[in-house]
Amino acid sequence: MLGLIFSLLVGALAGHIAGRIMGSETSAVRNIVLGILGGFVGSILFSLIGLSATGLVGEILVSVVGACVCIWIGRKLFQ
């Protein structure tokens, strides 16, 4: 249960940071979804280029990068 709460908090933080970087205001639920989805996308991207990130800061960094990619793709698809 604690791991789920931690993932939601990291996801919300990463989604919020990515939204601020990309200049889009989002709701708290969308921040969580973006952060969690961004974690998956970011880890795939990092593994494709041969990098790995460990620890809390690494997890947030991977999630933020992935969430930024998700926001960018969403903008391109739904213009």
Rounded Cα gap, residues 14 and 12, in angstroms: 6
pLDDT, position 2:
65
pLDDT, position 24:
72
Closest CA to 64 of 8, 21, 5, 3: 21
pLDDT, position 28:
73
- What is the per-residue pLDDT across 4-55, written as a single tens digit (0 to 9) for each? 677 777 777 888 888 888 887 767 777 778 778 888 888 888 888 887 777 7
What phi, psi does 41 have (nearest 5°)? -65, -45
List all residues 6 or more positions away from 26 whose beta carbon is below 8 Å from its beta carbon: 15, 16, 19, 34
Total-model pTM? 0.77
Task: Map residue 44 onto helix, strand or coil.
Answer: helix
pLDDT, position 3:
66
